[in-house]
Amino acid sequence: MHIAGFLKNSFVDYPGNISCVVFTPGCNMNCWYCHNSHLLTAHKNICESEIFDFLKERKGFIDGVVISGGEPTLQPDLFEFIRKIKNMGYKVKLDTNGTNYEIVKKLINENLMDFVAMDIKAPFSAYKKITGTDDDMLSIEATKNLLINRNVDYELRTTYSPDLTLADIETIAKSIIGAKKFVIQKYNLPANNRVVMLERSADDYKKALITAKNYVENSVLRGI
């Protein structure tokens, strides 16, 4: 599998667990605020053996492995890579944009997923203003529904970027009624600063949380 980055220790990427994070290159979206935008065109520079050697050494100290990106479901060797991790006794969390419904479904059906975090970028009718691409909204909605209706631990999350309104947060929350958890993430000004926008106030996030809780009781703020 192509691996473009590796974070050996994280206390925040896998809720309730100490993890390491594997970053895969390439993405089928181009979100303007992405802090991993360098992964869009990154090439493989870390060998799988380095990851597995690390996991052998850290047995008992790390609970799980987060596979992030980029978009990990674009990787053809993803299933084999995850099976090796699971066979070592580790939990696996996947970060995904939800565009590859069949891949996520197969991962769940084959019991390869312990936790899935899916990004909801915007109201489903307005994705392009965030992602800059023509997205397969049917697949994204299907993945969202799959998580809500299947017995797998998950969270749906939205970065409250400055070009989303409070009404957008309400629309998103309405579209995920029944979700186990909705995370509203803090927007941080991207390093490339392609679009200059002011950061939101703490009060903005509190209003968004109150609005979201009207539809998804377990709504939380992250990074505030």
Fold exhibited by the domain 5-222: TIM Barrel (3.20.20)
Q: What is the rounded average pLDDT for all residues in the chain?
A: 93
pTM: 0.93
- Count CB atoms within 10 A of the CB of residue 107: 22
How many Å apart are CA 81 and CA 86, to the nearest integer?
9
How many Å apart are CA 218 and CA 60, to the nearest integer?
31
How many Å apart are CA 70 and CA 64, to the nearest integer?
19
Contact 120, 144 (CB under 8 A): yes
pLDDT > 70 fraction of the chain, expressed in percent and rounded: 94
Query: DSSP code of 143?
Result: H
pLDDT in tens, 71-109: 999 999 999 999 999 999 999 999 999 999 999 999 999
pLDDT in tens, 169-224: 999 999 999 999 999 999 887 665 555 566 788 999 999 999 999 999 999 999 98
Where do the domains of the chain lie?
5-222
**Which residue type occupies 8?**
K
Q: For the chain, how big is the Rg over CA atoms in Å? A: 17
How many Å apart are CA 114 and CA 56, to the nearest integer?
20
Residue pointed to by tokens 């970053």? 23
